[in-house]
Structure 1
Amino acid sequence: MLDHLRRIRSQGEKSAAVLADLPVGALLRGVPSSVGFGVRSYVRSLRAERRRYPEIPTVFPTPGLVSAAFLDELVVAVLAGGRLSPDPEDAQRIRTEIADAVAKFRAEGYLDDPTRFHPEPPAPEDPVLRDRLYGTIGYEQLTFESGYMPRAGVPGATRWQGAGANQRVWAYVLRHPGAPRPWLVNLHGFGMGRPGDLATFRSPRLHRELGVNVIHPVLPMHGPRKSTRTHDGTFISFDYLGNVHGLGQAVWDVRRCLDWVRGQGDADTPVAVHGLSLGGYVAALVAGLEDLDCVVVGVPSVDMAWVMSHHVPGDIEREVRAAGLLGADAETVHRVVSPLAVTPRVPLERRFVYAGLADRMATPQQAYRLWKHWEEPSVCWYRGSHIGAVWNRRAHRFIEDALTSSGIGRRNTW
């Protein structure tokens, strides 16, 4: 559905195409939520001095903005219906795994210093590159074995490793011939991970106009790495240890891609990481583990426990809470993979955050928390939704300015 949304340009076409494919329940849930967003936005615009987050700009709820929020609400309703509705028989297992994992993390010191949870990976072995074509976009397909192994003794490891397709890393590459160029690493959002991401991120344009090389790693359980077997590990759900292993592997795989990238140039080749949504979460986490020249995080959720609590369907929230799947332990078990628990190694002037004021999936407050944790770097609050980030012009300009100001490419000068 996200791939389909990205191809739609006019607001009318967006709404018609999405509505045609959504269940009635999602439509009914999305209407009051988006209307409520409009009302709350209007009230906040009238009393700015009493707002909880005064640094986030107020936004007047125009019909177009409320419609954009409605699209976000629809996507949330569809995704939450499956991933955030755990089977009752799984609840006890998940609760037991959470308790065991928290005890393990505390004993190993991972909660005090989450960077210790993430071992430094070796450079990729036997990487394979093949020429490929997506429409008119020529690119290289990079693959290699992930080599990721969950920490010993952490619950859910065997289940996670059972996803065979996930054990191989995929990435889509645009390279210039000749002398080394700066690199841009683009990390996709939830439900993405296909070659079409090259167009969504406008990578051919950045490759051409800024003169940069670009690589799109595919995150675990996405694109060609997605498992079709229901008993394999689940990523981004109430199966919390699946979240921990998935984000741990995402960091491992991205860092191995960074090793490959650095091997294509010299020691001084600048490298930037840009992440969107789930990719923003991973980018912010990687920024606490790697020395990068620039990091740009877009429409991020940076608190996985909050994601679960905020988006759980209302009709099962009481049961989920009674099962012990919400609360302090949910926050603690995710700490080892939390961007808010690590200090960025990227200089302040090269950290960048952008977020949509009508974002109903991550919400602006998530970007605000990262912005505060990052010591208030350059930020762009655009008038638009979460999904709208992929075609918002102000966000596009912000990304390009972030890259060029950090020495990652130069407009039309190569």
Structure 2
Amino acid sequence: MSDLLPRIHPDDYCNEDLPTLSQPWWQTLPSSFHSMPDHFLADNDTSWRISSTAAVDTVARTGLALMAGVAALPATLNAARLNDERALTDFYRPFLAESDPNTFFTPPTVSAKIKHTPVSSYHFQPEDGDAHTLHFTSPFVPKNPDLRERYLDHTRNGTAWAQHWRHHDGPRPTLVMIHGFVADPYWLNTRWLALPWFYKQGFDVLLYTLPFHGRRKSRFAPFSGAEFFSQGMALLNETFAHAIHDLRLFMQMLREQGSPAIGATGISLGGYTTGLLAALEKDLAFAIPNVPLVSVIDLMKSWFPINQQVKLLNRIYDTDTAGLREITALHSPLTWPCQIPQSGRMIIGGAGDRFAPPKHSHLLRQHWNNCDVHWFPGNHLLHLDQGLYLKAMRDFMRQAFAAKGVS
């Protein structure tokens, strides 16, 4: 790890066109938010790194948007289902008016029997601990009775999965990691986010698999994660509720095993989920979203060619951008107050990110009362100077755990 200072100062994001976030954010955020440029104060070398990695991100993003758009076509062309979709989403409006998000994201009331099996040989094998694959049959039931049968028909999605690395002399404070959209393989996240390094710094690690990803995807889904966003806005609400529900059961297991404190990080879609978790779990020591998004609709509007489908959504739901945001606001981290103390909030943002552009991280930072932020001069996939933010994360995590009375 390098002792150099970051190339970009926390306050070097300087887009004066972005307004101060106010509630309800889905109405007050300009409809042009998705197209607003991202500006950083930076020297020539850093500016070159930002612009060049941004160009690479834009090309890669188009490929992923094309995959996601094609995956959504069957639902988009299902006229009978589209006729029901507006009524299905109306079910969730009363929950959005509640002061407590846990009214919808109900904590689990039934415990799970979690099974453990040793990980395969090609996964990380700690020398001073063990690594297991965990799974259980999820007791989750969708809130919307009109969606229960359709949602639960995805039988493979009904099994929750995670990987757990635990020190022999534990239990230790635990880092929970949530992967990004389509990026669920444990081996990928192990290497991409240097998770063995965090383990060697003294933390136990749990890698969580989101619904419809990995072994949770349907047998005939075209790719991992394809069903996450492609089945309508109503089912998307239930998908996030399911994600939080099963993650809470794994966290309950960690507490029962004696983990003295738990913190969470996640990348991209996992960063979005981490931000939501921070609005629900008061006992988290920290939340560190990494290159997070904060508005699904605004992200779609910035991704070609899937931005063309937003116009269809306007017609299906008979509403404008603000209305579409409201339909998806139930699971946005911008909607709810963060429950974690200020000392436990940190954001990692890529200055050249064009999958989840910096403006998303900037809005979340505003919502979290100008919390700590670490900007790196790379994109969504290429995290330049990653060693600097990994070291910053480690020090931040230790301080947050110490605030919980855990050394």
* TM-score between both structures, scaled by the size of structure 1: 0.78
Identify which of structures 1 and 2 has the higher relative contact order when contacts are C-alpha pairs closer than 8 Å and 6+ apart: 2
Given the alignment of the two structures, is residue 89 of structure 1 paired with residue 77 of structure 2, yes or no? yes
Superposition deviation, residue 118 in structure 1: 0.7
Please say if residues 146 and 169 of structure 1, whose CA atoms lie closer than 8 Å, have aligned partners that are also in contact.
Answer: yes
Q: Deviations over 1:113-136 (max 9, x none)?
A: 333111111464221111113536
Deviates more, 1:113-122 or 1:377-386: 113-122
For 1:160-171, list aligned pairs within 5 A: 160-171=151-162
Percent identity between the two aligned chains:
23
For the residue of structure 2 that corresponds to 1:389, the secondary structure is coil
For 1:361-372, list aligned pairs within 5 A: 361-372=355-366
For the residue of structure 2 that corresponds to 1:362, the secondary structure is coil
For 1:75-224, list aligned pairs within 5 A: 75-84=60-69, 86-87=72-73, 89-90=77-78, 93-94=81-82, 96-97=84-85, 99-106=86-93, 108-113=94-99, 114-122=101-109, 124-135=111-122, 137-138=124-125, 139-153=131-145, 155-196=146-187, 197-208=189-200, 210-224=201-215
Given the alignment of the two structures, is residue 296 of structure 1 paired with residue 288 of structure 2, yes or no? yes
Superposition deviation, residue 400 in structure 1: 1.4
For the residue of structure 1 that corresponds to 2:401, the secondary structure is coil
Given the alignment of the two structures, is residue 327 of structure 1 paired with residue 310 of structure 2, yes or no? no
* Paired residue type of 2:237: V
For the residue of structure 2 that corresponds to 1:227, the secondary structure is coil
Superposition deviation, residue 312 in structure 1: 4.8
Residue in structure 2 matching 1:405, options 383, 390, 399: 399
For 1:381-396, list aligned pairs within 5 A: 381-389=375-383, 392-396=386-390
Superposition deviation, residue 285 in structure 1: 0.6
Superposition deviation, residue 103 in structure 1: 2.5
Deviates more, 1:225-234 or 1:136-145: 225-234
Structure 1's 378 and 189: CA in aligned 2 closer, same or farther, altered over 3 A? same
Please say if residues 377 and 384 of structure 2, whose CA atoms lie closer than 8 Å, have aligned partners that are also in contact.
Answer: no
Distance 1:233 1:51 in 2: 34
Distance 2:15 2:113 in 1: 58
Residue in structure 2 matching 1:377, options 371, 392, 397: 371
Deviates more, 1:389-398 or 1:350-359: 389-398
Residue in structure 1 matching 2:56, options 47, 62, 71: 71
| Structure 2 match to 1:37 | none
| Structure 1 match to 2:28 | none
Structure 1's 332 and 96: CA in aligned 2 closer, same or farther, altered over 3 A? farther
| Structure 2 match to 1:251 | 244
Given the alignment of the two structures, is residue 358 of structure 1 paired with residue 346 of structure 2, yes or no? no
Please say if residues 84 and 308 of structure 1, whose CA atoms lie closer than 8 Å, have aligned partners that are also in contact.
Answer: no
Residue in structure 2 matching 1:285, options 255, 276, 279: 276
Superposition deviation, residue 287 in structure 1: 0.9
Distance 1:318 1:201 in 2: 32
For the residue of structure 2 that corresponds to 1:346, the secondary structure is coil
Please say if residues 89 and 234 of structure 2, whose CA atoms lie closer than 8 Å, have aligned partners that are also in contact.
Answer: no
Distance 1:359 1:56 in 2: 12
Please say if residues 174 and 204 of structure 1, whose CA atoms lie closer than 8 Å, have aligned partners that are also in contact.
Answer: no
* TM-score between both structures, scaled by the size of structure 2: 0.79
Residue in structure 2 matching 1:349, options 343, 347, 350: 343
Q: Deviations over 1:85-116 (max 9, x none)?
A: 5435236734641x22343223x444333331
Distance 1:130 1:408 in 2: 32
Distance 1:265 1:318 in 2: 46
Distance 1:49 1:206 in 2: 34
Superposition deviation, residue 322 in structure 1: 5.6
| Structure 2 match to 1:242 | 235
Matched pairs, number:
359
| Structure 2 match to 1:275 | 266
Superposition deviation, residue 190 in structure 1: 1.0
Q: Which runs of 5+ in 1 are unaligned?
A: 1-44
For the residue of structure 2 that corresponds to 1:323, the secondary structure is helix
Structure 1's 52 and 308: CA in aligned 2 closer, same or farther, altered over 3 A? closer
Please say if residues 272 and 294 of structure 2, whose CA atoms lie closer than 8 Å, have aligned partners that are also in contact.
Answer: yes
Q: Which runs of 5+ in 2 are unaligned?
A: 1-11, 21-37, 126-130
Given the alignment of the two structures, is residue 264 of structure 1 paired with residue 257 of structure 2, yes or no? yes
